[in-house]
Each structure stands twice: as C-alpha cells, then as structure tokens.
Chains A and B, each alone.
Chain A
Amino acid sequence: MKHTEVLPGSVGEGLQQRGVTRREFLKFCTAMTAMLALPPAMASVMAEAIAKARRQSVIWLSFQECTGCTESITRSHSPTLETLIFDLISLDYHHTLQAASGEAAEHARALAMQDNAGKYLLVVDGSIPLGDPGYSTIAGISNYDMLVETAKGAAAIVAVGTCATYGGLPKADPNPTGAVAVSDIIKDKPIINVPGCPPIPVVMTGVLAHFLTFGSIPELDDLGRPKSFYGETIHDRCYRRPFYDQGKFAQTFDDEAARMGWCLFKLGCKGPVTYNACATTKWNDGTSFPIQSGHGCIGCSEPNFWDAGPLYKALSMPVSATSAMLGTAAAVGAAAGVAITWHNRSTKAAARTAHEKVTAQELLREEK
C-alpha cells in the first residue's frame, strides 16, 4: 500500500509522526512480550529493536482464499497500536488492499522484490491449485508460478490462514482443484504457519514483532505454528472448562445450561483437539470468541478440519458408524455361527457313526 504522505524511515519515526507516545509503545511491547511467552526484560529490547527497525517490506499474495484472512487482519479495532504497526510496515503488494491493478500492481511487486531481495517478508493467504493452473491466476500468472518466483528472494514466509498453511477449504474432500499448502511447494525457506479460519489479528502482529526484534522466526511446533500462540488447546484455556470437569453440559444451542456457561462438548465443540489462542486473546478487541458467544469450536486452525467428522457431533461420537452397520455385522456373525454349528454337529455325527463298539471278549483276546 502506498502512502501519499512522507514515509517514515524507521518504525520509531513513524510512531512519532502519528503521535504515539513512548509509554503507549512500551505497553504494546510488554503485551507482545507476554503473548510471545518471552521473559519480561525482553520488552525494552523489543521496543528498541522495533523503533530502530527499517520499515519491513512485505509482499502479500492471495491465492485460493475468501479474503477472510485479510478482513481479519485489517479489522483489528482501530486505532489500536497493532494497526499502526501494520501501517508502518511497507506493504508493497497486496492485491485486495492496493489501489493499483494490472501491470502497475505487478510492477510494484517486481520492484519490491528487486529492492529488498533476500530481505522482504512474504505473506501468503489461500491455497495453491496444482490440478490446473487456470483454476486461479493473478494477472495471467498461475498461483504456483507466482509463489515460486516471489518466494525466491524472501527472508521468510508467513502462511496466513488455514488454506495457506494446510490447504483449508479448497483442499477438503474431494479437493477438486488439487489444492496444496505453501509448505507443500516451498521447501527451502523458513515458513511460519499462522492457521485459523481466519487467524487472530494479534497473532500476525506478534509474529511480525518477533521478526523485527530478533530478525528470526519464533519457535514453532511440529505443524510450523508459533508455540507461544498455538501451544495450548482451546479446551484447556476455555472459561467453560470447569463445567466439563463437573460433567455439566449444554444439551442444545441456547438452552438454559448454555446460557449459564456450561460446556458445549456435547454440541460438537472441537476445543479439546484445537490448538489456538482464541480463548485467551479473544476476538474483536478482546470482546469474545466463538465459544463465549454460544457456539462450539470447529477446530479451524487444525489441518484438514473440514474432513474431521461432522461439526456438530461430539468428539467422542463415531464419525460414521451406525447401529444399522452393527445389525448387518451381527447378521453376518449369525450366518457364520450357523455354519460353524453345522460343521461342529456334522463332525460330532461323523464321530458317532465311525465309533466302533468293542466287546469284552475282544478286549480279553487283545490282552492274551
């Protein structure tokens, strides 16, 4: 995004230009430090590093996506410090947000790649179709080609949203476009996965703050997610958790129990197997999160969550088993049982027929 005003050289200058006090900035850094699970002393280190940092060049590519991720990131309640920080990165290419289009837009991307070779951050939302390049193109360039070309000069890649991180909805069975995640294509660059449908804005800001402070990516889990945000399940940090432990459950949506804050496990909540920060950071400026508004977690930050069984079935319910299935199996068992019984009885009958009676005389003869 191009600003018409004079662009600040560093983040610190930019904050000053916008009238952000040092106190406010330190508060932000302290919150970020806590969120990233860093020692408290790191807050001042982070403040210094971010203030001095050159505005980070960011190229944002959107592939097979619904723009929900961009909506989420841009809709952090302004004017929060987070949005200011976002303004103060140099978002050099983002085809949803930028005014330019067509050749001019592609030129901006080429220029950013050239000027910041090896230094820019590449943010990707959306999955990449491998089935046919024509499924999704930008300026006539296939998603695959654009990703590979742009990734070459990137310092690191941030895959935003479940589509970019794990394939998401486009990859759901039967995956008509052959959708894959960024990490399925790019193997030689550090990739930070920020999954969620959409992901939490502050997670994105946190990852960026970490990158600006340390020049490296935060500690990641096995699925490439920052541990500080995805280290615990929704269930473990859920305010309804005590009710689960007491065996108190809502039976239907919006019943008395649900309104009293009882657990939504029986209504299909996937909180126990979903690693995300919703229950702690919450959404809409810390207002609420899905479980708080009465709907179970659907597990949107987990790979292949669309295909992980019905959304409204409790986690302990079978995905597809039915009692009819058991009935059929029992009938097969009965048929096999009859066959075995018939076999056993005929063996018994044959033994009876083959049985030869021995007389006392015959035994006496044998003894002699």
Chain B
Amino acid sequence: MNPLDLLTFARGDALNWALMLFAAGVVLRLFEIFGLGRKPDLAQPRSDSPGSGWRTMFTRSLPPQGLLKREPVTYIGGYVFHLGLLANIFFFAPHIEFFRNMFGIGWPGLPSAMVDASAVAAIAALGVLLAHRLTNPVKRMLSGFGDYLAWAVTLLPLLTGYLAYHHLLFEYTLMLSLHLFSVELLLVLLPFTKLFHTFSVFISRWYNGDIFGRKGVAS
C-alpha cells in the first residue's frame, strides 16, 4: 500500500467507521446520562433562583477570584490549550471544507500562519500541563490512566497536523494519513473517556448551578 492508498483509506472507510462510532457513542452516552435520572427533590428550595443553572454555565467558564494567583499553570495553560485547539479545529480552511462537505455550512477561516501559531501554543500548553500534572502532588494523585490517555489522544492530532503542515518527519501524504488516523482514534475514544466532557461539561455546569441554587448558594 503506497501513501496515497493509505490516505484514501484514511479519508474513506476508516473515517466512515470513526465518524459512525463517534456519533453512535455520543448519543449513547447522552441517553445513558440522562436516562439515569435523579430522585425527585421533595425539599422546599431554600431560595428562589430562576436561571441559576444557565448562569452557572457561563460563570464557571471564568476563573473565580484568586485562581490566577493560586493555580496560574492550570488556568493559563487550560485556556491557551482550549482556545488553540478550537482555532485549529474550526478555523483552519481545510477543516472548514470538511464541515462544509458534511453539513453543508461553511464559514471564513483564519490565515494558515495564525492557525499554525495556535497549534504551537496548544501543543506547548499540553506539554506544560502534563509536566504540571506529573510534578504537582495533588494533580498527580488524582490522575489515572484515563487522564494520560485523554492527554495523548488529544496531542496526537495536533502534533501530526503540525508535522504534516511543515513537512516534517515523514513525507506529506503519509503524515497527512497519520494525522487523519490520529483524529479517527480521538473520535472513537472521545465518547468513552474523560474527553466526553466536550459534550457533558455544560450539562453538568447547568446541573450544579441549578442544584446549588435550590440549596441557597446560587451563582
């Protein structure tokens, strides 16, 4: 199999299977989470706080006072990584073509150099965050295999994409295939690892905000 055949497989059957497992996995997990249900809260709400859940979805995305001083690595690293990843996935012109082909909608992209810089920033942030995870005793104690797996499968698409764009390590066609395979690995694992927070983060923020609102500590 030559590199172009490999790329055709990566863009073809491999991608089809990865996308289907991803879609099925995400819907399955959402059904599973919502299907668990909660026991009815029979207590009288301590305070009337309409919209507390919705507000929390937003306020929890901003750092509380003092966090920047207390946890600068987690705070800055987390933001740089997430924004960099977002720019790479949704604002790199070739990626937008993928969405346009799949869903019929497209939007303007960023210049490649800017996306490239954001990839470097995201990769560097991931490196720093891993180092912090390994050296910080609390984080280290809290981390398990799932955390390192999530870190690795998130890094791979960024790294292979960067290497492909700059023609490093392997020739472009092969590197592009590896990039696609790494994305496919991420798609397949996402619903079944901690990476599912992509979908569940705002659901749990809403729930936390709502339940605390009922307990009188509304955001």
Q: Which residues of A contact B (CB under 8 A)?
A: 223, 233, 236, 244-247, 249, 265-266, 272-273, 299, 302-305, 307-309, 313-323, 325-334, 336-338, 340-341, 344-345
Contact = CB atoms under 8 A, between A and B. Distances in A.
Given A329-B23, A333-B24, A319 B8 contact: yes
Interface of B: 2-5, 7-8, 11-12, 15-16, 19-32, 35-37, 93-95, 97-98, 100-104, 108-113, 167, 172-173, 176
Contact of B27 (A302, A316, A322, A333): A333
The 6 closest A-B pairs by CB, nearest first: A337-B31, A341-B35, A333-B27, A333-B24, A316-B94, A329-B20
B176 A337 contact: no
20 contacts: A247-B109, A247-B112, A265-B93, A265-B97, A266-B97, A315-B11, A318-B12, A318-B16, A320-B16, A321-B19, A323-B102, A323-B103, A328-B20, A332-B24, A333-B28, A334-B27, A337-B27, A337-B28, A337-B31, A338-B31
Given A266-B93, A334-B27, 17 more contacts: A236-B167, A245-B112, A266-B97, A302-B4, A303-B5, A318-B11, A319-B15, A320-B12, A321-B16, A321-B19, A326-B20, A328-B20, A329-B22, A329-B24, A337-B27, A337-B29, A341-B31
A309 B11 contact: yes
A145 to B, nearest CB: 28
Given A299-B4, A309-B8, A337-B35, A316 B95 contact: yes
A344 B25 CA distance: 17
Contacts of A233: 172
A325 B20 contact: yes
Contacts of B101: 313-314, 317-318
B28 A340 contact: yes
B13 to A, nearest CB: 8
A303 B4 contact: yes
Nearest to B31: A337
Nearest to A266: B97
B16 A340 contact: no
B112 A273 contact: no
Contacts of B98: 316-318
Of the listed residues A233, A299, A308, A338, the one surrounded by the most CB atoms of chain B closer than 10 A to its CB is A308
A329 B26 CA distance: 10
A67 B112 CA distance: 41
Contact of A273 (B32, B94, B172): B172
A224 B85 CA distance: 39
Contacts of A302: 2, 4
Contacts of A244: 112
A344 B5 contact: no
Contacts of B111: 245-247
Contacts of B19: 318, 321, 325-326, 329
Nearest to A340: B32
B10 to A, nearest CB: 9
B35 A340 contact: yes
A246 B109 CA distance: 10
B5 to A, nearest CB: 6
B177 to A, nearest CB: 10
A272 B177 CA distance: 13
B15 A318 contact: yes
A265 B5 CA distance: 20
A330 B35 contact: no
Nearest to B36: A344
B28 A321 contact: no
A143 to B, nearest CB: 23
Contacts of B25: 333
B8 A303 contact: no
A345 B23 contact: no
A273 B97 contact: no
Given A246-B112, A316-B95, A325-B16, A344 B35 contact: yes
Nearest to A302: B4
B23 A247 contact: no
Contact of A247 (B8, B24, B110): B110
A248 to B, nearest CB: 9
A318 B102 contact: yes
Contacts of B29: 337
Of the listed residues A305, A307, A337, A344, the one surrounded by the most CB atoms of chain B closer than 10 A to its CB is A337
B37 to A, nearest CB: 8
A307 B6 CA distance: 12
Contact of A330 (B24, B36, B176): B24
B4 A305 contact: yes
Of the listed residues A233, A273, A332, A338, the one surrounded by the most CB atoms of chain B closer than 10 A to its CB is A273
Contacts of A307: 8
B16 A273 contact: no
B186 to A, nearest CB: 16
A317 B24 contact: no
B173 A273 contact: yes
A15 to B, nearest CB: 39
Given A330-B24, A337-B35, A308 B102 contact: no
